[in-house]
C-alpha cells in the first residue's frame, strides 16, 4: 500500500478530524483514509450537467407554494 505524508495542516483541521474519528469509533488514520477514498471515488459533475440538473429541479417545483418554515418552527416550539 502507498503512503502519503501531508505537511502543514492547520491544527484546527487536525482537531476536527480527530473529533470526527472519535465520533465514528475510528483512529485518525482510518478516518482520513476513508475521507480520501470517498473523495477520490465521488462522481464528478461537469458544469453543463449541473446546470441541467438544476434547471430540471426548478421546473419540477415551478409554481408550487410551500409553507413558511419559520411558522412551522414556531408551532413546534409552542407545543
Q: Are 44 and 38 in contact (CB under 8 A)?
A: no
Q: Tell me the pTM.
A: 0.55
Angle (CA) 9 23 42, round 5°: 65
Q: How far apart are CA 26 and CA 6, in angstroms?
A: 19
- Residue-wise pLDDT for 16-68, tens only, equals 999 999 999 999 999 999 999 998 987 788 899 999 999 999 999 998 888 88
For the chain, domain boundaries = 11-78
Amino acid at each position: 500500500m502507498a503512503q502519503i505524508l501531508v505537511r502543514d495542516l492547520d491544527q484546527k483541521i487536525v482537531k476536527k478530524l480527530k473529533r470526527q474519528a472519535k465520533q465514528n469509533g475510528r483512529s485518525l488514520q482510518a478516518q482520513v483514509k476513508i475521507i480520501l477514498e470517498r473523495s477520490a471515488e465521488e462522481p464528478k459533475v461537469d458544469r453543463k450537467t449541473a446546470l441541467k440538473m438544476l434547471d430540471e429541479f426548478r421546473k419540477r417545483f415551478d409554481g408550487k407554494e410551500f409553507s413558511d418554515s419559520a411558522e412551522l418552527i414556531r408551532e413546534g416550539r409552542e407545543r
